[in-house]
Amino acid sequence: MNKVNTITKQVFSKTHKRVISSAVILGMLNTVTLPVQAAVQQAQHEQRANKVASQESSWEQLTELTAQHRLMVNGLKIGRTIHKAVWYESAWDKVVSLFTEDSETIAEREHALTTVDQILALRIKTMQEQVAIMQEITAQANALKAQQLAPEIIQQSMQRQAELVKQLEGRYRTLQGLFEQLQQAKQSGDSEQQQQALSRLDQQIQAWQPKTARTDMQRLPWGTPDSKVRAPITAETKGKITPAAYHKGLSDLNTTTDKQNRSSSIGQWRSTEYQYAQFLQNQHSIRPVANTINGMTASGKWPVLSALPATVQDADLQANEDVSINPEIQALAKELNHNPAKIYKWVYDNIEYVPTYGSIQGAAYTLETKRGNAFDTSSLLIALLRTSKIPARYVYGTIEVPSKVVTDWVGGVNSVDAAQNLMGQGGIPNIGLTSGSQTMAVRLEHVWVEAAVDSLPSRGGLNNLDAAGNLSNPDAARQWIPLDASYKRYNRTAAIDIAKAVPFDANKLVNELKAGATIDEAAGSVQNLDQSKIDSAITSYNSQIKAYLEQNHPNATVENILGKSEIRPYQSKLLSPVLPYKVNTVIADYHTLPDSMRHYFVLNTFPSNDPYAQMEGSADFSIRIPSTQLQGKPLAFSFKPSSQTDADLLASYLPKPDASGNIDPGKLPKSLPSSIRMTAEITLNGQVLKTGQSYPLGTEIKAQMGFASPNNSWGLPNKQFQAGEYHAIGYDMQGLSQAQMDRTKAQLEVAKTKIESRQETQIKTLTSHDVTGAMLQGVVQSYFALNDAQDKIAGTQAKVTKLPYMSFGTFSTQVQGVYSWGVLRQAKLSGMMMDIDRLSATSVEHDNNIQNWVNFNASQGSRMSANEHLVPEQFFNDPNATTRTVHGISAVKALQVAASQGQKIYQIDQANINTIVPQLNHSSETISDIHNAVASGKVVTTSQAKVSINGWTGSGYIIIDPATGAGAYMIGGGLDGGAITMPPAYAWLFGIAAILILASLFLSGLGGLFLLLLGIIVLGCAFSNYTNNPKWVDRATTLSLFLLGGLGLFLESGAVAFWVLTGLLGASIYEVQLGTQCT
């Protein structure tokens, strides 16, 4: 080894001189110095091996050692590929021919020899563990027999254990054979034979290991959708679209004839529009008014590609997936006297427009949130009209809106480019219509409503129903007219410019931090950042803002500070017979929207024994839920015992209470056997939508989960479940409603009341969804709600419009499978996990300044990551306690802890990855993620080594796309979220609570009640915390933004002031004016 190091130093010394004198060789420095890197990697590998030795089992050590070697070999190849891409092929070939082969051979051989020694040292340990495993299985069998359980339970349990033993023994024999081959290769002294034997062992281990879901580096989970969309459909482009995607009647897209038009509902209101336009154009005195009615053309004969007949049909009055008619909608229609003009005005005046495409919320949730896109707003308007027995339909077409109107309509931006960018991210097909270099209008696809009302002479001003619910004037002649309640203008009040009024010297803070820190810009690292200076700066700036507001705006409200936008009310008491914009083409009208215009929540799971199933799309469980069906209701993916026998078997492993009804935590089992089988199910509002496969407890289940949306190609993220977990699926499609949060709170209060009643009849009515599910939902919903509130604050100060859009993630109990030789044999219950699979928003800087937008995106990610540990901590800890029982871990917190320990914090890209990665002490999964991210052009921030936080050991790392600011904020090796740690007994009880409550459904009498009570013992603290309105201290969130290690501050100096100021302003305004309570 020393000889090799001496040779490599000599090679490096000679090469270094050549590098200085030759630009070409400079570019190849990584290739030339591979022997030196091999030595560094070898030293780091030995350090990692010492860490690995402390892991729990020999199998874990084996898998990590072989994975590290595989990564080392692949890392050499990745480094070569990255540098090769920079230079001309001919230059590369010339230099590679001199150095590459020998350098890579040295590095790989030395690493392989060390890995072989470390693996062979584990052989004795594997033998000892195999003996211990067999003894443990035998002890479990004897314990079951001693309980005098039903014969069928004993028989099934013994059968499953026998199958487990057979599989373990077979795998063990195979493993020992591979050990023997490795030993013989070492004794031969032939390095090539050793590498081959090591490769065979690695391949077998990979085949046995469960496949872990990885992050798609091309679609980072936190960011914005692509703004690229197709051009809108017009009569001229009709041959370029797929007809079936829009309407069955568009088989050849022939424009309907004049005769058909006249007999259609669209034909009626088009004729009215034409007549009205002609009237206005003949009135010289009011001709300017005519010019403001953008729906007019000289002829009024815009094309209609397909149209329904004017005759009223049953479907014009019926509810459907989008037009949900619930008691709240019925009550509102009655309150508005079933008057079409009043109904239209209410929807117009009260529903804020969101620039997105497709049916997302439906009528009911749009009423609840008071916001929605054109589809959602139309659904609500149709629901209110149909409830009032007024026939109504959707109309889909292409319109043209003046630039000065569209910028206000979509969110108050300053630039038409920003408006188009925002609409494109939302999936709305649009193009700009230019005159010279100026965009005069935007052409876009849009949806509105047509309704058959008593329009002449009343113009919809009469009540349609009498007090008894009958038609007021059944003989009235009805006329179809167009109605668009989503197209509106706003009165906007500017926010107080606190950044200008109370300037913050970001550069001064940066210089102070630099003075005490160790910064290596060449290596991309920061160390010893004085975090107290950051805390002091935030405290001081908060005081300055508070003093400014008290002195200059003592009566200011949150709206005064953040700015306010109000819908300009619809002025008329009657309905307009025309649309307020130019119609280019009507594509079709509909009773019910086609599926191609709907969003769906999709969940697919794949066979655990088929490594190619996910790649091939061969799901063993699949469900598509229309997003309009969700309506803010709790969605969950959970597991229940597969049979009565499994429920009884589960109960047999639990301790019984003593005479006083107490349970000794010391008697709780540390794990449960995988012989207990669990069945998956997905539920909405506690109702089972679909039942999935049956799995051994602890099985890793590969899945894909997310929203499938029209006009967006973001795909479904990979997801991983463990059989036995309860996953509360949170979603934030276009913002959450306060009513949704209130329902969750009320559900917890009801459960708390039933538990405290101590009445068996009351307690037995509870389900896992009422207890565990409601608590988990409360956390994940609070996470999304808090982010939405903070986004509004940050966006206001940064002059960015940011709107939540189709985000989702889970907060779950956590089950960990225990494997020996790749065979699942036990499951551990270890707390909770936050995993936000997609945090998406449509966002633009008001002037469409891309660099400011990228800086804003990157700066906000750290705050959103910190919320992943702050929200659960605030939820589960007793606010009156002096110490915390529950601790959260997020990517930002892990990096904060690493920085406080004096670790170096690195920023890794393609220029330095081969220098930095050998210095890192992280798991093979984390290193693999770093390699994959950098190879795809991303930048990674991570610490030098893993950290330990309250019993959790792992890594935090951030992946950023420098082109967009999109990111992934990871912990461990692939979870985009936060881990929750708690005392072992607490973690075990909480993890099993959902399982026990579900298991109690199988058991009658005292046994079922015992399981139910045991499942809810641990939940008392969380009940009281949530129902007593815990406080969220946002300043701590902002602190975490800076405690990354300073990389965003020091290595992205162009965004320093923006980065610091945005965070400080957000924290200060939130504390001073919104207070510290998140509701």
DSSP codes of every residue in 71-121: HHHHHHHHHHHHHHTTS-HHHHHHHHHHHHHHHHHHHHHHHHHHHHHHHHT
Decide if 527 is inside a domain: no
Q: Specify if 910 maps to a domain.
A: no
- Going by C-alpha positions, the residue among 1038, 567, 990, 534 that lies closest to residue 786 is 1038
Same-domain check for residues 637 and 754: yes
* Shared-domain flag, residues 283 and 159: no
Contact yes or no for 994/638 (Cβ under 8 A) = yes
Q: Please report, as a single letter, which amino acid is at residue 384.
A: L
Instruction: Compute the Cα dihedral for 309, 312, 314, 320 and give only its sign.
Output: positive
Instruction: Give residue 288's domain range.
Output: 235-465+473-493+566-596
In this structure, what DSSP letter does residue 710 have? Answer: T
Region of 797 (left: φ > 0; alpha: ψ -120 to 50; beta: rest) is alpha
Whether residue 591 is found in the same domain as residue 693: no
Q: Which residue has the tokens 């239209």?
A: 344
In Å, how far are 142, 209, 259, 316, 639 from 308, measured between CA atoms? 74, 58, 13, 11, 47
CB 949 within 8 A of CB 893: yes
Asked whether residue 388 is domain-assigned, the answer is yes
Length of the chain as a residue count? 1079
Nearest-CA neighbor of 853 among 1042, 1051, 1058, 561?
Answer: 1058
Q: What letter does residue 322 receive in the DSSP assignment?
A: S
Residues 196 and 241 in one domain: no
Q: HSE on the CB side for 808, CA within 13 Å?
A: 25
Task: Indicate whether 170 belongs to any domain.
Answer: yes
| pLDDT, position 733 | 97
What is the total count of domains within the chain? Answer: 3
The answer to the question of residue 187 being in a domain is yes
Is 455 within 8 Å of 481 (Cβ atoms)? yes
Of all helices (H) and strands (E), which one includes residue 540?
helix 531-552
Instruction: Give the pTM.
Output: 0.85
Q: Is 686 exposed, middle or buried (0-12, 13-18, 19+ CB in 10 A)?
A: middle
614 and 574 both lie in a single domain: no
Residue whose entry in the numeric block shows the structure tokens 């790392």: 957
Q: How far apart are CA 170 and CA 887, in angstroms?
A: 41
Say whether both 729 and 777 belong to one domain: yes
Shared domain check, 663 and 582? no
| 1052, HSE (Cβ side, Cα atoms, 13 Å) | 24
Q: Which two tokens stand for residue 83?
A: 């540098």
Say if 477 falls within a structural domain.
Answer: yes
**Judgement on whether residues 56 and 200 belong to the same structural domain of the protein:** yes
In single-letter form, the type of residue at position 655 comes to P
> What six digits make up the tokens of 138?
């035998």
What's the rounded Cα separation, in Å, for the pair 824 and 640? 19
Please answer whether residues 364 and 328 qualify as being in contact, where contact means their C-beta atoms are separated by less than 8 angstroms. Answer: yes
The whole-angstrom separation of Cα 671 and Cα 662 is 21
Q: Is residue 634 part of a domain?
A: yes
Q: How many CB atoms lie within 10 A of CB 856?
A: 25
CA dihedral 379, 382, 388, 390 (to 10 degrees): -170
Element holding 875 (H helix, E strand):
helix 850-876
Report DSSP letters for 760-775, one per residue: HHHHTT--TIIIIIHH
Asked if 179 and 246 sit in the same domain, the reply is no
Name 888's bridge partners. Answer: 980
**DSSP 8-state assignment for residue 716:** P
Q: Are 92 and 84 in contact (CB under 8 A)?
A: yes
For the CA atoms of the chain, what is the radius of gyration? Answer: 32
Strands 371-372 and 600-606: unpaired
Matching residue, tokens 């009237």: 279
Strand partners, 887: 981
CA dihedral sign of residues 350, 354, 357, 362: negative
- DSSP-assigned letters across all residues of 384-414: HHHHTT--EEEEEEEEEEEHHHHHHHTTS-S
Name every residue whose Cβ is closer than 8 Å to that of residue 994 and which is 6 or more positions away in sequence: 638, 726, 768, 771, 772, 773, 813, 1015
| Exposure class string for 144-153: b at 16+ Cβ within 10 A, else e | beeeebeeeb
Q: Are 487 and 352 in contact (CB under 8 A)?
A: no
Residues 586 and 479 in one domain: yes
Tell me the backbone φ, ψ of residue 490, rounded to 5 degrees.
Answer: -130, 150
State whether 192 and 241 are in the same domain.
no
- How far apart CA 808 and CA 976 sit, in angstroms, is 12
Spatial separation of the C-alpha atoms in residues 737 and 735, rounded to whole Å? 7
Q: Which of 208, 224, 243 is the last residue of a domain?
A: 208
State how far the Cα of 62 lies from the Cα of 182, in Å rounded to an integer: 13
Please say whether the dihedral angle defined by the alpha carbons of residues 324, 327, 329 and 333, taken in this order, is positive or negative: positive
Instruction: Please list the ranges in the chain whose pLDDT falls under 70.
Output: 1-55, 75-107, 238-262, 274-301, 455-457, 657, 659-666, 973-978, 982-1079
Interatomic CA distance for residues 798 and 792, integer angstroms? 10
Tokens of 461: 């001003």
Query: What are 590's strand-pairing partners?
Result: 394
Q: Which of these three, 153, 173, 208, is where a domain ends?
A: 208
For residue 56 the two structure tokens come to 């729990």
pLDDT of residue 243: 40
Q: Is residue 229 part of a domain?
A: no
Do 719 and 654 share a structural domain? yes
Structure tokens at 402: 């003046």
Rounded distance between C-alpha atoms, residue 702 and residue 622, angstroms: 12
* Closest to 57 (Cα-Cα) out of 942, 632, 671: 671
Cα distance between the two ends of the chain: 63
In this prediction, residue 1069 carries a pLDDT of: 36
- Using the Cα atoms of residue 167, residue 168, residue 171 and residue 174 in order, give the sign of their dihedral: negative
Residue type, 146: A
How far apart CA 424 and CA 226 sit, in angstroms, is 7
User: Is the preceding omega at residue 655 within 30 degrees of 0, hence cis?
Assistant: no
Tell which residue, 788, 780, 797, has the closest CA to residue 735.
Answer: 788
How much is the pLDDT for 277? 57
Query: What's the one-letter identity of residue 156?
Result: Q
| CA dihedral (977, 982, 984, 985) positive or negative | negative
How far apart CA 937 and CA 239 sit, in angstroms, is 39
Q: Do β-strands 823-845 and 222-223 pair in parallel, antiparallel, or remain unpaired?
A: parallel
Tokens 């058991």 belong to 1003
Interatomic CA distance for residues 580 and 1014, integer angstroms: 63
Sign of CA dihedral 587, 590, 596, 601: positive
Yes or no: say if 1078 and 904 are a contact pair by the CB < 8 Å rule: no
* Residue showing tokens 């002195």: 551
Tell me what pLDDT residue 328 has.
97
User: Which residue, among 14, 178, 250, 4, has the nearest Cα to 108 in the 3D structure?
Assistant: 4
Whether the CB-CB separation of 947 and 905 falls below 8 Å is answered with: no
The SS3 call for residue 268 is helix
Query: Regarding beta strands 967-971 and 956-960, do their DSSP bridges make them parallel or antiparallel, or are they unpaired?
Result: antiparallel
